[in-house]
Amino acid sequence: MAAYILEVLRNYPIIVLSWGVDNKSYRIAEDAEHRSGLEFTVQGFKHKGKVQILYDEGADAFLFNLIDTDGKTVKTREDVYVNELVPAIDEAVEKVENYSARICQEYGISS
């Protein structure tokens, strides 16, 4: 399942890169309910810490957890279908109001 999720993420390279993913942080994840998936570290505008994506076979959908740098789960979203996965994570990790202006400010780009 981790390999499948990674392939889904690779279909959106620009979006995933915008999250500040640490490529060395990818690892297989499993929760107490034996759902498996992928976990990695991000440095987004809205979330810094880990993103854990798990597949819920019963729902035939994904869920993701945002885990802060202290290891505390700060957000969970369930019932996310594969075509919604990257946009939903992007909204939780990266997208802020006035996103373009924030990019310019963060990287010293004049608009």
pLDDT, block means (10 residues), the chain with 111 residues: 97 96 96 95 97 96 98 98 98 89 81 62
**pLDDT value for 48:** 98
Count of domains for the chain: 1
Element (H, E) at 48: strand 48-56
CA 51/CA 74 separation, integer angstroms: 10
DSSP secondary structure string for all residues of 51-84: EEEEEETTTTEEEEEEEETTS-EEEEEEEE-HHH
For residue 7, the enclosing domain spans: 2-107
